[in-house]
Structure 1
Amino acid sequence: MNRTLQPKQTTSLSRSVLSGQSGAHSNLQRLVEKHLRTRSSRPYAPHNVDAFHAVVNAAKGRDLILDAGCGTGDSTLVLARRHPQAFVAGIDKSAKRLDMLAKANAAQREPNALLVRADLVDFFRIAAAEGARVYKNYFLYPNPWPKPAHLQRRWHGAAVFREILELGGEIELRSNWKIYAEEFAMALNIAGIDSELRPLVTTDSTALTPFEKKYHASGHSLWQLCATCPA
């Protein structure tokens, strides 16, 4: 489910998202409604429980910002600088990607940031079960999973969507695939949550992630979805 399951970040230009979908998936409402009334009983992996408690202990009661599927963690550091009053946890299931940042940017570590290895599905489930609340929840590029058959691999089509909403706080999603953002907005609406979807204007200096810089340089239209979940 991590957004970094997509091709590696490079400085080359990127192709636009290709999909057999021309609009929102026809099964979206049925799937979201199902997930909003059910909950997984699958046991948690112990290392995901440890990751959650590591984040809680490091946050020390500060406002918690989650950078879901942070990849190499560049966006986590940017968010930490922009929100010095909060604690930012970058979460990714790839130890290799997280280690890339540790080696390349060790001197740039922010005191209010932590990178942890965890499966996000488990992490969100554990956080919701423990009654955790977040200040902001970021879902940044790419993770569109554009094939129609992959609807359940998109965050709004995943069984854990319910737990994501239960964490409360502000949700911000950024994507270069408008249909993905529109579907997320529709899923929020099904859950009774209003959102705002708008074009995103960015530059190299304001971009949150290397993907955002790459997509901007490639001339892609970028989209930003913002919503506030009830506490």
Structure 2
Amino acid sequence: MFANSRTVASAQSGPHDNLAALVGRHRDAPFRKPLAAYSAAAFDAAIAAWRQAGGAPLILDAGCGVGESTLRLATQFPDHFVIGIDQSQSRIVRGKDWWDDVWPDNFVWVRADLVDFWRQLHDAGIHPARHYILYPNPWPKIGQLARRWHAHAVFPTVVALGGVLECRSNWDVYIDEFALAVEWLSGVRPHVEAWTPQDGTAPLTPFERKYLASGHGLHRCVATLPSR
């Protein structure tokens, strides 16, 4: 039953016709949504853990789910500090008996609203060295464009954080749109490719593992962005 994930079904075969207008509107209009009540404490706790660990170059694992990607990134980049962020407390605290490797000490998980966390980082002048958005919900229906991260009002802030920004998806249209939005907002043309983990490299997330086992094509966008 593991390798049974369905491919993304959508009436879109290419980038959405309204993407450019929506990204432009978000670029030109300040995003003023109030922060969630718990966001300040969550942000302070994560940043305190990072600083207590010595303030190493920062990696954001945005939407980390059960946290496997956070652990793998912390292991892969031992000279960095990884903050794994997810809005679901139950996913973050779920048992980790599937992790057989040495437990790294250069990470923290935090329950937070990603929209708030990104804005708080930007307002605090904290810029990640690397930033991962791994297999976000694709929201593939044509009317769901505004739910995709690259068409969300917070995305100009995400791009302004800078660093090496990487998004992965099993839907090529999502990656193509993501790359376009990044280029329009930053002037940097991302690298887009069909992609699979290298031999001997474990999948970063449970979704990546399941999509590979189900025979899906994987795609990624990588851009090295200036901080603003």
What TM-score do the two structures reach when normalised by structure 1? 0.90
Native 8 Å contact 1:204 1:213 kept in 2? no
Equivalent-residue separation in structure 1 for 2:79 and 2:106 (angstroms): 8
Partner of 2:41: 50
Deviations 1:96-127 (A, max 9, x none): 11111467659954210111000101111111
Identity across the alignment (%): 45
Q: Give the letter aligned to residue 214 of structure 2.
A: S
1:116 aligns with 2:117: no
Equivalent-residue separation in structure 2 for 1:108 and 1:85 (angstroms): 16
2:184 to 175, 190, 193: 190
Partner of 2:220: 224
Equivalent-residue separation in structure 2 for 1:87 and 1:121 (angstroms): 21
Equivalent-residue separation in structure 1 for 2:195 and 2:101 (angstroms): 31
Q: Give the letter aligned to residue 150 of structure 1.
A: Q
Partner of 1:84: 78
Partner of 1:24: 15
Deviation at 1:149, TM superposition (A): 1.1
Equivalent-residue separation in structure 2 for 1:59 and 1:102 (angstroms): 22
Deviations 1:114-152 (A, max 9, x none): 110001011111111111101111010142111111111
Equivalent-residue separation in structure 1 for 2:43 and 2:221 (angstroms): 26
Equivalent-residue separation in structure 2 for 1:104 and 1:206 (angstroms): 13
Task: In structure 2, list runs of 5 or more residues that go unmatched.
Answer: none
Partner of 1:13: 4
Equivalent-residue separation in structure 1 for 2:180 and 2:32 (angstroms): 26
Native 8 Å contact 2:16 2:142 kept in 1? yes
Q: For 1:46, what is the secondary structure of its paired residue?
A: coil
Partner of 2:207: 211
Native 8 Å contact 1:51 1:117 kept in 2? yes
Going from structure 1 to structure 2, the CA distance change for 1:212 and 1:204 (only over 3 Å counts) comes to farther
Greater mean alpha carbon deviation, residues 129-138 or residues 40-49:
40-49
What TM-score do the two structures reach when normalised by structure 2? 0.91
Equivalent-residue separation in structure 1 for 2:2 and 2:120 (angstroms): 36
Q: Give the letter aligned to residue 92 of structure 2.
A: L
1:62 aligns with 2:73: no
1:181 to 163, 175, 181: 175
Task: In structure 1, list runs of 5 or more residues that go unmatched.
Answer: 1-9
Partner of 1:200: 195
Equivalent-residue separation in structure 2 for 1:144 and 1:121 (angstroms): 17
Native 8 Å contact 1:142 1:176 kept in 2? no
> How well do the aligned residues superpose, as a CA RMSD in angstroms?
1.8
Greater mean alpha carbon deviation, residues 42-51 or residues 90-99:
42-51
